[in-house]
Every structure is written in C-alpha cells, then in structure tokens.
C-alpha cells in the first residue's frame, strides 16, 4: 500500500504548506497506513486506492490542533485523528454509492471500480477500523463524539434524500441538514481532540462551538461554489446540487424573493435543468442578491467561530485554528 501524504499535500489548494509544518499530519498518515496494513486481498486493494487518493485531511487536522492546544502530541491523539479520517473515508465510500458517483478525488470511486456490493462492505470495514482503534486506546470520550457524528451524518443524509426536489426546504430545515451532514462532524473532531488531551468542560464547549460554525461556513461556501465556482476547478458542472434535487441556501433565499419565488418553485417541481434553465437560475441568483446574502451567512459563522476561540488559551495552535477560518473565508473571494 502506498502512502500518498506528500502527494495529497501538493493537491490541497486551501491549506498552506506551513500548516503541515505546525501539525504533524505525516505521523497521522503513517498511523492510517499501519491501521490498514493488516488488510488482505481485495480489501487491501480498496484501502490502498482510498489512501493513495489523498485528501485535505481537515478532520484529523482539527483533532490534532484542538488537542495540541491543551497537551503535547501523544499516540492517543494521533489515533483519535486517524479514527476521524477513517470515519470520513467510510462516509464518502457510502455517499458515492448513494449518489451513484463514479468519481472521487479525481479518481474512479470504489463503487465504480468494485461495484456496490464490495463498496458497502469497504465502508463498513473502514468504519469498524475507526472504532477498533478508539476502543483499543480506551478513548471513550473521543468514541462518544464519533458516535454522535456518525448518527448525525446518517440523519442528515436521510433528510437530504427525503427532501429531494421539495419546494418546502426552508432555512431552518437547510441549517438542520448541513449541521447534521457536515458541521456536527467537524464539531465532534474538535471535541474529540480536546477531550483526548484532557481539556476542561468550558474549553470543550468552546472548541465545539468553533467546529460547528467552521463546518456551517464550510458547507455554505461549498453550496455557493456549486453555483458560481469555476466548473473546471470544482471538477463538476455548475448547479449540480440543484440538478440532483438538493435545495441549498442560494435557492432557499431565491424562494423568498417576490420576483422569483413562483418561477423557481416551478423550476424545482419540473425537475429538468437544460443549459438555458440553469443559466437563468444562475442569473436570478445573482440579480436577487441570493448569492451575496449566502456569502454574508457564511461570514456570520466565520465570525462566530473566531469569537469562540477567545475562550481558549493563547498558543500557536489556537492561532492556527483562527487561520483555518480565514482559509474557509478565502474560498468565498
Ligand atoms: C458528502 O456529501 C457526504 C457526507 C458529508 C456524509 C455522508 C454520510 C453517510 C453516507 C452516512 C454515514 C456513513 C458512515 C459509514 C460513517 P456530498 O454528497 O454533498 O458531497 P460530495 O460532493 O463530496 O459527494
Ligand atoms: Mg456525494
């Protein structure tokens, strides 16, 4: 199995290389390799495929950084970080089955290469590895945060499927979904790291609040970029979420606009998005101010995330958490 850490570093557009000098993600990468090294046959091939595709490693980065604010690096903290990445990998393997996606991280997905039957089991395998490592180290608090994260992701995926092509997704429901699908996992990563490093209750709450708001901002920016990001950089056509019936914040805001409400609801119910319709949707999103308002919503969560950090002890790691909020924000520009 090849370790693709250096490759993934080069691939990652958002995180500056010096962050990897402050946080020792290379040790996490080696740990992931070790955890998966007893896999055999087809399982080994699938794990190798996933590892070599790399990734941003944002979840282990949060676990490590939030732990290092409170204690020096320990093998337990590294294991907590690896467990978070394994759960993330498992969730993506299952997500690609659900979405029938053929590509992941610019490579063919596991379901594309091995089929759904093998892909379901591969996700389960990674998932079990994650909890195995937490159990082995008796990282019970970290484990309970990861349990919360997985339950939440499942609820989020189910409500997303339930709401597909629905005109009744309001702001409350949208926020519930992105909290469950994305933000609670980031919150739990922060809390897992801090708990593994012995943080007190007040600090745990602060890092949790930070992670939740970072996650909300991250997902909102992602949902905006789906409409107005560069299709070549994103590696997918504009408006793909809407085509799949996934109603996100720019559309929820457009539905509140008197000029466009009736029209966009008709478009959603029609479930067809030829190029000319998608062009009109993009124009309406700009013209109505829905894109600008979505950016403002992301900005509010960035500010909240920054405020939460004031409760933490000052350190280069707290500083790094602060910088991560600006990286999410800079995707906006
Ligand atoms: C990507 O979303 C997927 C998620 C954020 C979570 C998926 C979660 C599950 C399938 C349930 C949890 C399962 C396990 C085994 C832990 P997306 O489809 O919006 O993003 P994409 O464009 O990257 O696919
Ligand atoms: Mg998907």
| pLDDT, tens digit, 9 for 90 and up, residues 100-148 | 999 998 899 999 999 999 999 999 999 999 999 999 999 999 999 999 9
Closest CA to 106 of 36, 157, 52: 52
Nearest ligand for residue 222 CA: 1
Contact by Cβ (8 Å): 105, 96 = no
Strand (E) or helix (H) holding 104: strand 103-104
The reply to whether ligand 1 has any atom less than 6 angstroms from the CB of 99 is yes
Task: Name the class of domain 2-329.
Answer: mainly alpha
The reply to whether ligand 1 has any atom less than 6 angstroms from the CB of 127 is yes
Over the chain, what is the mean pLDDT?
93
Taking the complete model, does pTM exceed 0.75, yes or no? yes
How many whole angstroms from 77 Cα to the centroid of ligand 2?
A: 29
Closest CA to 26 of 76, 78, 71: 78
Confidence band (pLDDT; 50, 70, 90) for 22? very high
Which protein residues have a CB closer than 5 Å to ligand 2 (ion)? 95, 99
Residues in the chain: 333
How many whole angstroms from 94 Cα to the centroid of ligand 2?
A: 9
The DSSP call for residue 182 is I
Mean pLDDT of 10-30: 76
Say whether pLDDT at 80 is over 80: yes
Phi, psi (5° rounding) for residue 287? -60, -40
Contact by Cβ (8 Å): 62, 103 = no
Atom of ligand 1 nearest to the CA of 123: 15
Q: Which among 56, 89, 92, 227 is the best mutation to test ligand 1's pocket, defined by most ligand atoms within 8 Å of the CB?
A: 92
The reply to whether ligand 1 has any atom less than 6 angstroms from the CB of 87 is yes
In this prediction, residue 230 carries a pLDDT of 78
């Amino acid at each position: 199995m090849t370790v693709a850490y250096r490759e993934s570093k080069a691939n990652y557009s958002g995180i500056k290389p010096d962050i990897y000098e402050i946080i020792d993600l290379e040790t996490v990468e080696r740990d992931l390799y070790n955890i998966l090294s007893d896999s055999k046959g087809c399982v080994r091939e699938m794990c190798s495929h996933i590892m070599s595709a790399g990734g941003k490693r944002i979840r282990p980065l949060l676990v490590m950084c939030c732990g290092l604010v409170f204690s020096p690096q320990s093998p337990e903290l590294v294991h907590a970080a690896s467990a978070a990445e394994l759960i993330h990998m498992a969730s993506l393997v299952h997500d690609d089955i659900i979405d029938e996606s053929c590509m992941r991280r610019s490579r063919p997905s596991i379901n594309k290469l091995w089929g759904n039957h093998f892909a379901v089991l591969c996700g389960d395998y990674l998932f079990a590895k994650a909890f195995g490592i937490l159990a082995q180290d008796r990282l019970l608090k970290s484990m309970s945060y990861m349990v919360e994260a997985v339950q939440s992701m499942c609820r989020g995926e189910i409500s997303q499927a339930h709401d597909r092509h629905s005109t009744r997704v309001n702001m409350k429901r949208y926020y519930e979904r992105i909290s469950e699908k994305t933000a609670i996992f980031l919150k739990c990563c922060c809390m897992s790291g801090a708990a593994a490093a012995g943080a007190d209750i007040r600090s745990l709450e602060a890092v949790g609040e930070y992670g939740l708001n970072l996650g909300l901002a991250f997902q909102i920016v992602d949902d905006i970029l789906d409409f107005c990001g560069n299709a070549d950089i994103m590696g997918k056509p504009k408006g793909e979420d809407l085509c799949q019936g996934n109603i996100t914040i720019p559309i929820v805001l457009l539905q509140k606009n008197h000029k466009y409400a009736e029209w966009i609801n008709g478009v959603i119910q029609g479930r067809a998005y030829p190029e000319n319709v998608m062009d009109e949707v993009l124009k309406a999103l700009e013209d109505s101010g829905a894109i600008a308002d979505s950016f403002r919503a992301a900005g509010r969560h960035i500010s909240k995330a920054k405020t939460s950090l004031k409760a933490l002890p000052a350190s280069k790691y707290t500083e790094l958490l602060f910088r991560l909020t600006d990286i999410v924000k800079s995707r906006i520009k």
